[in-house]
Amino acid sequence: MWADLQYRILKRAFPRGPGFGESTFYIGKSKAEVVLGAGFLKSVAGKTVIDFGCGEGSEAIEIARSGAERVLGLDYREDVLQIARRKAQEAAVDKICEFTQSTNEVADIIISIDAFEHFDDPAAILRTMDTLLTPDGSIVAAFGPTWYHPLGGHSFSIFPWSHLLFCEEALVRWRSDYRPEGATKFSQVGGGLNQISIRKFEQVVEDSPFEFASFETVPIRKLRHLHNAWTREFFSALVRCRLVKRKARRASTH
Site of interaction with ligand SAM (CB under 6 A): 53-55, 74-77, 80, 113-115, 118-120, 191-192
Q: Toward ligand SAM, which CB reaches closer, 192 or 219? A: 192
Which is closer to ligand SAM, CB of 75 or CB of 98?
75
Q: Please answer whether residues 79 and 105 qualify as being in contact, where contact means their C-beta atoms are separated by less than 8 angstroms.
A: no
Would you say 120 or 207 has its CB closer to ligand SAM?
A: 120
Residue 230 Cβ, how far from ligand SAM at the closest point, in Å? 28
Question: For residue 144, which of 47, 17, 6, 34 has the smallest C-alpha distance?
Answer: 34
Helix axes 2-13, 168-176, angle to 10 degrees: 50
CB of 88 to ligand SAM, least distance (A): 14
Q: How far apart are CA 14 and CA 210, in angstroms?
A: 43
Q: Minimal distance in Å, beta carbon 23 to ligand SAM?
A: 9
Residues 6+ apart with CB under 8 A from 69: 46, 47, 48, 96
Quick one: 65 or 77, whose CB is closer to ligand SAM?
A: 77
Which residue lies nearer to ligand SAM by CB, 122 or 137? 122
Provide the minimum distance between the beta carbon of 253 and ligand SAM in the complex, in angstroms, as a whole number.
25
β-strand pairing of 236-245 with 70-74: unpaired
Q: Which is nearer to ligand SAM, 103 or 197 (CB)?
A: 103
Question: How many C-alpha atoms does 98 have within 13 Å on its Cβ side?
Answer: 12
Q: Which amino acid is at 156?
A: F
Least distance to ligand SAM from the beta carbon of 179, Å? 15
Q: Select 102 or 253, whichever has its Cβ closest to ligand SAM.
A: 102
> Which of 143, 147, 132, 145 minimizes the C-alpha distance to 210?
132
* C-alpha closest to that of 96 among 63, 129, 74, 128: 63
- Could you tell me which residues come within 8 angstroms of residue 205 by beta carbon, excluding any fewer than 6 positions away? 126, 211, 212, 241, 243
Backbone angles phi, psi at 235, to 5 degrees: -120, 20
Q: How far is the CB of 120 from ligand SAM (least distance, A)?
A: 5
**Rounded to the nearest whole angstrom, what is the least distance from the CB of residue 121 to ligand SAM in the complex?**
7
